[in-house]
A and B are shown apart, each in its own frame.
Chain A
Amino acid sequence: MTKTNGGFEPVFCTVVPPHILDKLAQHEDPALANPARKTLERDAFERTHRRLTTVIGAPAVAAPPGAAEGKPHRTIYDARHHTDLPGRKVRGEGEDPGKDATVNRAYAGLGATFELYLKAYERYSIDGNGLPLDASVHYDNDYNNAFWNGEQMVFGDGDGEIFLDFTIPIDVIGHELTHGVTQYTANLTYFGQPGALNESLSDVFGSLIKQYTLGQTAAEADWLIGAGLLAPRVTGKALRSMKEPGTAYDDDVLGKDPQPATMDDFVRTGRDNGGVHINSGIPNHAFYLAATALGGHAWEKAGQVWYDVLTGGELKKDALFVDFAKLTVAAAKARFGDGEELQAVLKAWEQVGVRTA
């Protein structure tokens, strides 16, 4: 499959429900049947592709011809307030910044994310093999979200009432791209505890990308996710706090930040895929505790341990918090021996109530 268009045909896919496509595909008029068949084939292909990614890990995608080793290959698309992906190409790798600040921020954020993974962990793009980085901005109207669709990032502009442009915080860009890294490595199931670990890893590396870009130490970092994203009228500083989960916002429209910091307050819910954005507060806080106990640049020690677990091949896709915690202990030992790193990791999990033995 070619990666240059993000893999999505703008026609049919998102518009026509599958049962209607089935009907159309059997139609005697080829003008109706052919596009429907094509769409079904593409849908089936994507489903199989995703399933295979789950089973055998994501395939190695060849770097684009001419792409220099160690350089990102970024493309930003403008969805122009529609929902067909990827939209119109507006900036390719090496092209000068244009007038659209959103496009420029997305381009810079992709570059910063690429840079942290390469410089800190010697990872060449999100698949480790130079995968081109695609992002679409200006998705839909007043769209209060950003997501990873399995192949590219998608950013909304926000409604201006509650949320501003989702490309503003660099940690949001890092968060979305890290969903890609997770998909190509541990491929944690996006539900329940493995889903909360998936979310937490995106927050951890999203925050590290911000810290790396600003040159901050663990003590200097704000440990916030989505700072600058909330509109001025909202009472809150960000969407999540790794330092103090549950304190990022408390607003009459948004409600109160529901994140727990420890297992005592673990939230059981069927919503939000079993609380993936809620219980991620627990592993988020464990990372914060380990990183601040160790001091210095958080990506060097705590980040290295977490990265080793994410990419080491032992983290199962249905891992629970305890499984992940045990692997961080083993990774700290393997990487740094029996020293302060190991002690910091052990103590961090103990403080959030996740057992490691």
Chain B
Amino acid sequence: MRIRVRRTGGFAGIERQAEVDTSGRPDAREWQALAERAIAGGRGRPSVGVPDGFNYEITVDGRTVYAADPRLTEEQRTLISRVLKEGA
């Protein structure tokens, strides 16, 4: 499973992107479960969000959903921060 997160907007307006490929990882199951729950709570289209809030694009195996601060689900928040921290 390939999980990609792209974060745009924010006060700085600086984009960040990272991807995690779960294949061969010892914690692949955990990643997959988290990604599925995060995707389930996402929107099909980007929203404008709040001024200076981050906008997120989460793509799991080619399927993309959108989310925006401060209204993230717990799973989205966890997934986003893990992918941006650990992904390449």
**Which A residues form the contact surface with B (CB < 8 A)?**
13-17, 20, 83, 85, 140-141, 144-150, 154, 163, 166, 172, 175-176, 179, 182-183, 189-191, 198-199, 202, 226, 239, 254-255, 258, 271-273, 276-278
Contacts and interface: CB of A to CB of B under 8 A. Distances in A.
A17 B40 CA distance: 8
Given A239-B12, A277-B12, A147 B69 contact: yes
A179 B53 CA distance: 12
16 contacts: A14-B70, A14-B71, A17-B40, A83-B72, A141-B81, A144-B12, A147-B11, A147-B70, A149-B53, A149-B70, A150-B50, A190-B50, A199-B51, A202-B51, A239-B13, A277-B9
Given A255-B14, A272-B9, A145 B69 contact: yes
B50 A145 contact: no
Interface string B48-70: 11111111000000000000011
Per DSSP, chain A at the interface is loop
B77 interface: yes
B13 A172 contact: no
A166 B41 CA distance: 29
Contacts of A146: 11, 52
A295 to B, nearest CB: 30
A350 B55 CA distance: 34
A154 B53 CA distance: 10
Contacts of B69: 145, 147
Given A147-B70, A149-B50, 4 more contacts: A144-B12, A150-B50, A190-B51, A273-B9
B13 A272 contact: yes
A144 B50 contact: no
B51 A14 contact: no
B36 interface: no
Nearest to B40: A17
A154 B70 contact: yes
A87 B15 CA distance: 28
B51 A148 contact: yes
A199 B50 CA distance: 12
Contact of B10 (A83, A144, A175, A258): A144
Pick the most buried of A85, A149, A182, A189: most chain B CB atoms within 10 A of its CB.
A149
A169 B55 CA distance: 23
